Amino acid sequence: MFYVYILKSLKNNKSYTGLTNKKLEIRIKEHNSGSNYWTRQNGPFKLIYYESYFCKEDAMNREKFLKSGIGKRLVKAIKNEFK
């Protein structure tokens, strides 16, 4: 199973869109532990949205869309629902 997910920073309200084949709980813990520079600077995070896919290519296409111009507007709308 592949997951496309959106995290919201509890520190500064920024959002992070990602793709993983790990369990979401594990991946969020990795983000919250500061697994890279960006997550160290912007964490902690809260999961606000995810979608499940059987096909990796479908998940990659969805992540790419959510990081595009129109997709960013959708991410913003989702993030604003969780103020």
pLDDT of residue 37: 87
Pairing mode, if any, of strands 2-9 and 15-20?
A: antiparallel
Whether residue 5 has pLDDT greater than 80: yes
pLDDT of residue 83: 66
Q: Which residues is 2 bridged to in the sheet?
A: 53
- Degrees, nearest 5: CA angle 54-80-75: 35
pLDDT of residue 18: 95
pLDDT band at 1 (very low <50, low <70, confident <90, very high): very high
The kind and range of the H/E element at 60 are helix 56-66
Mean pLDDT for all residues in the chain: 93
- Degrees, nearest 5: CA angle 27-30-31: 90
Strand order in the sheet with 15-20: 15-20, 2-9, 45-53
Q: Which of 34 and 41 is assigned the larger pLDDT? A: 41
